[in-house]
Amino acid sequence: MPSTELLLHELVAEAGLPEVTSYEDLHGHGFDHQIVHATLADSREVVLRSRKKSWPLPLGRARFLTEHDLPAPALLGGNEFATLYEYVPGEMLYNLVAEDRMTDAYWRSVGAAFRRVHAVRFPSGLSGPFDAGRLVLEAIDPVQDLHERIAAAIPRLEVNLPFVLPHLPRLHAIIDAYADSSRPAPTALLHGDVFPTNIIVGPDRTTLIDWDFPRVADPAQEVSALDEWMYLAGGRCLADAFFDAYGPRPPNTGLYRITGAIGWFGRGVFNGWEIDFTLDEARTEQVTGWRNSLVAYLTDLGDRLDEL
């Protein structure tokens, strides 16, 4: 793989942009990418995202986002190793929440961004990923899907969180009770990775970056995932001001919030109880905090089910 510096200069030149005059590495933007912020000779700013492994250039996806006027940075160029985007000014939502600097105005800005994304609707009962060049949808039963998610988590729960197991029969019953609202729920475009470092709150608007895993599904899944990240980042939930701009909370958000928390132990930066040993000390501390917060949330699962 070429060096990040070489990739930056090559992609800027291929895009027909003025030469790079300065650049800096950005930190705290996630686990999978190296991010470089560069300034060009005409004072424009760009961002290079490089990965450790090759990745298809998402031209079709970028075109879709642009044509639907969605809150995403413009793709300026790229290859299998890196992508070049316009720079989006602002601060990461993760930092604003962790440092208790979110305001109602900021929350409304975030809500407005997600409203625009979730306004791209699809027929109920269809779900699937939006890969680099195509949208692949299939018919699913959301009720069966939720049951299967819980069943798939049982081996990990038996080892790591056995105190959750006695609550599962009740959770399955609640999933069935929600069937009348789950099955006809609309589906929409989802960003797919609402890690709060992927949400840039700017002076005029909020932009969602890192559109690597968009998909079509019930918007309640994304709202619940964002709510979960607010809990992990700062021990809070989505503010009312978010819904002032987004609109009413999707009806199945609470159910997806609980099933999502249970499913977390099989994916992401920890699998089961073990933390990814390749993480550095700062990342390990961060992820350990998330795990502990997740355990605390599931320790009160009976109370969470009472709230549904």
Q: Poorest-confidence range of 113-117, 258-262, 267-271?
A: 267-271
247 has pLDDT over 70: yes
Run of H or E including 21: strand 20-26
282 or 24: which leads in pLDDT: 24
Which tokens is 302 given? 């009976």
Is residue 194 within 8 A of residue 89, CB to CB? The reply is no
Sign of CA dihedral 22, 25, 26, 30: positive
In this prediction the pTM is 0.92
Is residue 228 within 8 A of residue 193, CB to CB? The reply is no
Q: What is the CA radius of gyration of the chain?
A: 20
Tens-place pLDDT, residues 165-183:
999 999 999 999 999 988 9
User: Residue 3: its pLDDT value, please?
Assistant: 85
Tens-place pLDDT, residues 15-59:
999 999 999 988 655 556 789 999 999 999 999 998 777 788 889
CA distance 94 to 233: 6
Strands 121-122 and 215-217: unpaired
CA distance 163 to 263: 15
- Of 31, 5, 69, residue with least CA distance to 212: 31
Confidence of residue 270 (pLDDT cuts 50, 70, 90): low
Would residue 15 be called left, alpha or beta, if left means φ above 0 and alpha means ψ between -120 and 50 degrees?
Answer: alpha
Q: Percentage of residues in the chain with pLDDT exceeding 90?
A: 69
3-class SS at 36?
A: strand
State the DSSP string of 242-276.
HHHHH-SPPTTHHHHHHHHHHHGGGSTTEETTEEP
Tens-place pLDDT, residues 206-237:
999 999 899 999 999 999 999 999 998 877 88
Q: Poorest-confidence range of 66-80, 148-162, 218-232, 243-257?
A: 148-162
Domains and CATH numbers, the chain: 4-87 (3.30.200.20), 92-306 (1.10.510.10)
Is residue 276 within 8 A of residue 269, CB to CB? The reply is yes
CA distance 150 to 213: 22
Mean pLDDT of the chain: 90
CA distance 285 to 291: 10
User: Residue 273: its pLDDT value, please?
Assistant: 61
Looking at this protein, which amino acid is placed at residue 240? D
Other beta carbons within 10 Å of 297: 19
Q: Percentage of residues in the chain with pLDDT exceeding 70?
A: 94
- Of 202, 187, 148, residue with least CA distance to 171: 148
